A and B are shown apart, each in its own frame.
Chain A
């Protein structure tokens, strides 16, 4: 499996805090990889640097062997990176379908008008929101806004999809359909890097896990091995297994 995403020696400093410290890993084409770690370990910051929301303080990120670190988010999106945010970022005064259309209009496909609306409806259907297409985004529940955000990310036609705790807050039924949805995205060829705390989902979806603690990578292995690593159990799983 060739690597789609290559992260090497990545660091990010906030004032005196080294939130991400010399992290390296790679994500194979078509893989679903988990990025795990206790609260504040730097997972979101890693995603922020990959998507171009934050500039790295050091290190390199490349996609298909091409360096993308240092570019802005809008340029990186054109390379095929899309994401959802840990705290949903809806465009509240736009309708649900408009939210999705934005990614079509300015993404790699440059769709507009009726064609864009049709495609947007397709993505809304995929996440189960088609019936709310013409509601204002601010009128959706938080979970539905997360669905909408995923539809928007998919509309950008990503090769690499970054999910930041997208499954958090779902009830058991919703969780099962959420897992099914992510799995179907994976089988459609999208490479996924997901930050997640829901162990059930990680075991069901991720072939490989990268585990961080206090900004440092402490494990990077096939999921079962990574989760049974003693260092990981002490730093991250301990609290849950005890």
Chain B
């Protein structure tokens, strides 16, 4: 048990070290690709952190991502960089707490619709504010961050999100989340403070999403609401987490990496049919692999193993 744990931690650290060294061996194209990929890895992990166990399907990802990106655009000239990230994170946290208090009592499809609406609402508010109060629509971001710097920050954020998910999975909080996902009535009767736990997880997940936006924003140089609050980001995150399996530690990563590469390839080769193909992929995943690829593979394997084991038992 402990030796297995040691193996896992060693494996995790080896991968992180290898990825940290990557910029010294590859060109700018790969770094750009990796920035996009790590952004989605962090988003998918953050999404699954809350939505996996609670089964609350959130489309608010881009609301927080966009808040992070916009916070970066608004404060990039007035705040030193580390403080900028802190302020962005705090704004994300504040919005998440307000939204969470208002919505986490909504069930099922109402929550989905509300979170989708929230992203639109934030976008419209920002647009209105920029047009009517500040008199600009777009903003420029001039920050002395290199692509490698962005890459390393996203790597650190992804590693942090992964480690947090791992810790949660082994803690009482993880058990509480599982129970809430299974049966809220039992959860309440066992003494679990459901509302508080959901709110805490929602906020944690939202802060990570906000930071992804804030860290990635300097890549754009120019930001406007339609870029920062593009709803495709919410949908992609959701598909990635579902493809890998939102209830597994490795699930979001196993979904984010291949799907990100697939979508990169699609948008390069079929720019006009991109949305249609995206929709088809989405439908396929929901119908064919409702519990994610990992679950599918695992079930297939155990099926085969038991099928193979049975005749042997009979012979005995």
Contact = CB atoms under 8 A, between A and B. Distances in A.
- Range of interface residues on chain A? 20 to 34
Contact of A89 (B178, B185, B193, B194): B185
Contacts, number: 65
B191 A107 contact: yes
A77 B191 contact: yes
B183 interface: yes
8 contacts: A51-B189, A73-B188, A74-B191, A74-B193, A77-B191, A91-B183, A92-B182, A106-B190
A93 interface: yes
Interface in B174-197: 175-176, 178-179, 182-183, 185-194
Contacts of B316: none
A72 interface: yes
A74 B179 contact: no
Interface of A: 51-53, 72-74, 77-78, 82-83, 85, 89, 91-94, 98, 101-103, 105-108, 112, 152, 156
A77 B190 contact: yes
Interface of B: 172, 175-176, 178-179, 182-183, 185-194
Contacts of A73: 185, 188-189
B188 A72 contact: yes
| Most chain B CB within a 10 A radius of its CB, from A85, A92, A102 | A102
B175 A74 contact: no
Given A101-B175, A102-B175, A102-B179, A107 B190 contact: yes
Nearest to B196: A74
A51 B189 CA distance: 7
Contact of B194 (A53, A74, A82, A83): A74
B186 to A, nearest CB: 5
B182 A106 contact: no
Contacts of B172: 105-106, 112
A194 to B, nearest CB: 17
Contacts of A107: 190-191
Which 5 residue pairs of A and B lie closest in terms of their CB atoms, listed nearest first? Answer: A73-B188, A106-B191, A77-B191, A91-B182, A74-B188
Contacts of B178: 91, 93-94
A83 B188 CA distance: 12
A101 B171 CA distance: 13
A156 B179 contact: no
Contact of B191 (A91, A108, A112): A108
B230 to A, nearest CB: 36
B192 A106 contact: yes
B192 A53 contact: no
Contact of B190 (A72, A85, A112, A156): A156
Given A98-B175, A106-B172, A78 B191 contact: yes
Contact of B189 (A82, A92, A98): A82
Given A73-B188, A106-B191, 4 more contacts: A73-B185, A74-B191, A82-B189, A156-B191
Nearest to A111: B172
A51 to B, nearest CB: 6
Contacts of B188: 52-53, 72-74, 77
Nearest to B178: A94
Given A72-B188, A73-B185, A91 B193 contact: no
